[in-house]
Homo-oligomer: A and B are copies of this chain.
Amino acid sequence: MRLPVRTDFPLGEIRRYLEPGPIVLVSSAWKGRANIMTMGWHLMLGFEPALFGCYIWEANHSFELIRRSRQCVINLPTAAMVDTVVDIGNCSGAEVDKFARFGLTTAKATHVDVPLIADCHASFECRLADGSQIRRHGLFIWEVVKAHVAARPRVPETLHYRGDGEFLVGRRTISRRGRFKPEML
């Protein structure tokens, strides 16, 4: 697969990729071990600073890597990667080196010691902003500190998980810009 050409993207606008609710791949690393997990339970929590929350189950192999390193990268795969996305979610980093098995291309992050997945449309480097809800709710609250986004396609075809092995594919867009108050855009 040809890698997307990604460039720096304004942090105040990352909602354009995360608010629609896509499945993402979370990369993590801690003391020489690295892993990837598929994740769909997340939300935006602020524009500036760019805050983002996600739920990670403590039984996931990634949980300890992420909790200890206090860093992760949120990578946005496209619908073309659906089989990889599913297979990553159906094996464990305790048994498999997922980067090697799935032939993913890593790239060095700028602000965190966690690999970016260069095959994805976008990657968001995250540092833990608030870990106080990890134990109670499995909720990690991140500040996104750097965004790498491909300019083309303008709207990537994303995967939105419905459970039971089924994904909604988001591609068609409609604009109602004219109905918005300027300050609401």
**Contact pick for A158, options B53, B168, B177, CB 8 Å:** B168
A180 to B89, CA, bound (A): 8
Stretch at the interface among A42-50, A70-78, A116-124: A42-50
Contact status A168-B155, CB under 8 Å: yes
A20 to B158, CA, bound (A): 10
The residue of chain B having its C-beta at the shortest distance from the C-beta of A38 within the complex is: B184
With A13-B163, A138-B45, A170-B170 as contacts: A176 and B82 at CB distance below 8 Å: yes
Number of copies: 2
Interface residue count on the A side (C-beta < 8 Å): 57
Q: How close is A55's CB to chain B, nearest CB, in angstroms?
A: 5
- Is residue A31 contacting chain B, with contact meaning CB distance below 8 A? no
The residue of chain B having its C-beta at the shortest distance from the C-beta of A14 within the complex is: B163
Residues 139 to 179 of chain A near chain B (Cβ within 8 Å):
139, 141, 155, 158, 160-179
Query: Residues of A with Cβ closer than 8 Å to B?
Result: 13, 15-16, 19-22, 40-45, 51, 53-55, 79, 82-83, 86-87, 89-90, 130, 133, 136-139, 141, 155, 158, 160-181, 184-185
Please list the 6 inter-chain residue pairs (A to B) with the smallest Cβ-Cβ separation, ordered nearest first. A21-B21, A165-B177, A20-B160, A168-B170, A43-B43, A86-B179
